[in-house]
Chain A
């Protein structure tokens, strides 16, 4: 299986080598990450999949400089993660939408822009643009509680897009949503990715979601948290929902499942 040509030559945006993170706890050290090496190229859509405790969220948080690795090296846009954070290199979408209840949708999306000191006119223009991008035009004046869970999560994606970071990090953003809404949002996310040419890191529990979305799937396993397989998807970038019934799709899903099973065998 080979990745599309364009991606092979693209520059590496996120580069981890022999990365490890050990938490010291009362019950002794916990190896959240051990010997993780991975290159994410510009324009990649990379999914991290694995059981709880495999370190997929921890790895994403290391990239975002929300956790500090205890060993190895990690660069984001050629900088340390913390420098990249200060340069606002990425937008981060959390599991919960985390919209501020006292701000309207428009003002929620404008929050990071206010923090970054954009001008009033620029804020207005960007809020309108990203809300349109996630199909929420016209909802500026609504408060979060007036929106469904799926719409709230879309607003939080708009918020992460508003300041034009090239990297989008998403930590199980659709985990709390039902299957139908999730399908819809996955489809929208692919459209968005195609239009904006972002590099996306996406943590998920769901095999179909990972295979449907990604150009590369990173299979991880716990104790210690590590990468067991990296699968370059042979699927085309253009993906209608029914691609999930094709043999290619099922083959990739099968390989992901095998990888997950192999990881699990270590436990017992």
Chain B
């Protein structure tokens, strides 16, 4: 334990030092500017203190972000529009729905690709092409089109999440469903197993380690999708909305706290899938 904690803390401390130094470097110009206009001469200590305490700094200091995070999570009611928990939940719900849809779509496509020769030859290029289109370009289109057919709210954002998250699942599951050795498939043949038995008893269980690995990638992509989905709509709630509002009004502290919240959310989701993976694979005797 001690062996891992110490290096981690050392790296963290180094990052904080660099961050604080960066804040001084980037915010000093504005501090000097204000001091000159007010006709005051700043000492070095005053200058540094000022760069770490501005309202709209170019780069907020770590403690400013921490205070903002504290005030918008612990000190706000969850129902409040100022609560970051509230905004996180809005984004998280779209993320989870999109992730669920994306995983289902990914598995369905992978099964099709593995079992159908036509799909094998035709679908994969499209799947790969779909991921070469910048999500920022296609997200407004999805939202506009869905709005035109009367779908708004959670689903359009979830669709963008799905668009990003099905890809790793398709790739992983195609590999996973094809992972049984030729010998294992021959063995099933000798028992005259049906295609369905081959799938449920051999291919699907074999693919489980691949599924969880791709789900970890997919859930992080889902979160990015949900946040991106909130940007072009001018959404009023969600981490994306916080980022957008923050950039309109130069609220860098708000932007940074939303970014940290998103990162924490992603880490939490990946850790959750990791935990499910461990439990499932251990129960299956594969870990």
> B61-69, B123-131, B167-175, B179-187: which lies at the A interface?
B179-187
A193 close to chain B: CB less than 8 A: no
| CB-contact partner of B285 in A92, A102, A112, under 8 A | A102
> B15-23, B136-144, B190-198: which lies at the A interface?
B190-198
A186 close to chain B: CB less than 8 A: no
B contact residues, total (Cβ < 8 Å)? 20
Q: Whole-angstrom distance between the alpha carbons of A111 and B188 in the complex?
A: 10
4-41 of chain A: CB within 8 A of chain B = none
CB neighbours (8 Å) of B194 from chain A are 115
Are the C-beta atoms of B186 and A94 separated by less than 8 Å? yes
Are the C-beta atoms of A100 and B190 separated by less than 8 Å? no
Name 14 A/B residue pairs within 8 A (Cβ), A-sorted: A85-B190, A86-B192, A88-B192, A92-B190, A98-B184, A100-B202, A102-B205, A102-B208, A102-B284, A112-B191, A114-B201, A115-B188, A115-B192, A115-B193
Give the residue among B184, B189, B194, B285 with the most A Cβ atoms within 10 A.
Answer: B285
B286 close to chain A: CB less than 8 A: yes
A64 — nearest CB in chain B belongs to which residue? B190
| CB-contact partner of A116 in B184, B191, B201, under 8 A | B191
| CB-contact partner of A90 in B181, B190, B193, B201, under 8 A | B190
Residues of A within 8 A of B (CB): 64-66, 85-86, 88, 90-92, 94-96, 98, 100-104, 111-112, 114-116, 143-145, 163
Are the C-beta atoms of B192 and A101 separated by less than 8 Å? no
**Least distance between B159 CB and chain A CB atoms (Å):** 34
CB neighbours (8 Å) of B197 from chain A are 115
Are the C-beta atoms of B285 and A98 separated by less than 8 Å? no
- C-beta contact mask, B185-224 vs A, less than 8 Å → 1, else 0? 0111111111001000110010010000000000000000
Give the residue among A92, A100, A101, A144 with the most B Cβ atoms within 10 A.
Answer: A100
CB neighbours (8 Å) of A143 from chain B are 285
Are the C-beta atoms of B201 and A111 separated by less than 8 Å? yes
**Least distance between A234 CB and chain B CB atoms (Å):** 33
| CB-contact partner of A115 in B201, B208, B286, under 8 A | B201
Chain B interface helix/strand/loop/mixed = helix
**Least distance between B273 CB and chain A CB atoms (Å):** 19
**Least distance between A67 CB and chain B CB atoms (Å):** 10
Are the C-beta atoms of B286 and A102 separated by less than 8 Å? yes
Contacts A101-B286, A115-B197 given: A92-B205 contact, CB under 8 Å?
no
CB neighbours (8 Å) of B193 from chain A are 115
Are the C-beta atoms of B181 and A98 separated by less than 8 Å? yes
Are the C-beta atoms of B285 and A94 separated by less than 8 Å? no
A156 — nearest CB in chain B belongs to which residue? B187
Q: Whole-angstrom distance between the alpha carbons of A86 and B192 in the complex?
A: 6
Q: Whole-angstrom distance between the alpha carbons of A88 and B193 in the complex?
A: 10
Are the C-beta atoms of A85 and B183 separated by less than 8 Å? no
CB neighbours (8 Å) of B183 from chain A are 94-96, 98
**Least distance between A165 CB and chain B CB atoms (Å):** 9
CB neighbours (8 Å) of B189 from chain A are 65-66, 85
CB neighbours (8 Å) of A94 from chain B are 183, 186-187
Q: Whole-angstrom distance between the alpha carbons of A8 and B205 in the complex?
A: 47
Give the residue among B184, B188, B192 with the most A Cβ atoms within 10 A.
Answer: B192
Lowest 8 A-B CB distances belong to which pairs?
Answer: A102-B284, A143-B285, A92-B190, A112-B191, A115-B193, A115-B191, A94-B183, A102-B205
**Least distance between A117 CB and chain B CB atoms (Å):** 10
CB neighbours (8 Å) of A98 from chain B are 181, 183-184, 187
**Least distance between B102 CB and chain A CB atoms (Å):** 25
Contacts A96-B183, A102-B286 given: A66-B192 contact, CB under 8 Å?
no
B198 — nearest CB in chain A belongs to which residue? A115
**Least distance between B279 CB and chain A CB atoms (Å):** 14
Q: Whole-angstrom distance between the alpha carbons of A116 and B284 in the complex?
A: 23
Q: Given A88-B192, A98-B183, 20 more contacts at CB 8 Å?
A: A64-B190, A65-B189, A66-B190, A85-B189, A85-B190, A90-B190, A92-B186, A92-B187, A92-B190, A94-B186, A95-B183, A98-B181, A101-B284, A102-B208, A102-B284, A102-B285, A103-B285, A115-B188, A115-B192, A163-B191
Are the C-beta atoms of B285 and A88 separated by less than 8 Å? no
B285 — nearest CB in chain A belongs to which residue? A143
Give the residue among A88, A95, A115, A144 with the most B Cβ atoms within 10 A.
Answer: A115
Contacts A96-B183, A98-B181, A98-B183 given: A91-B201 contact, CB under 8 Å?
no
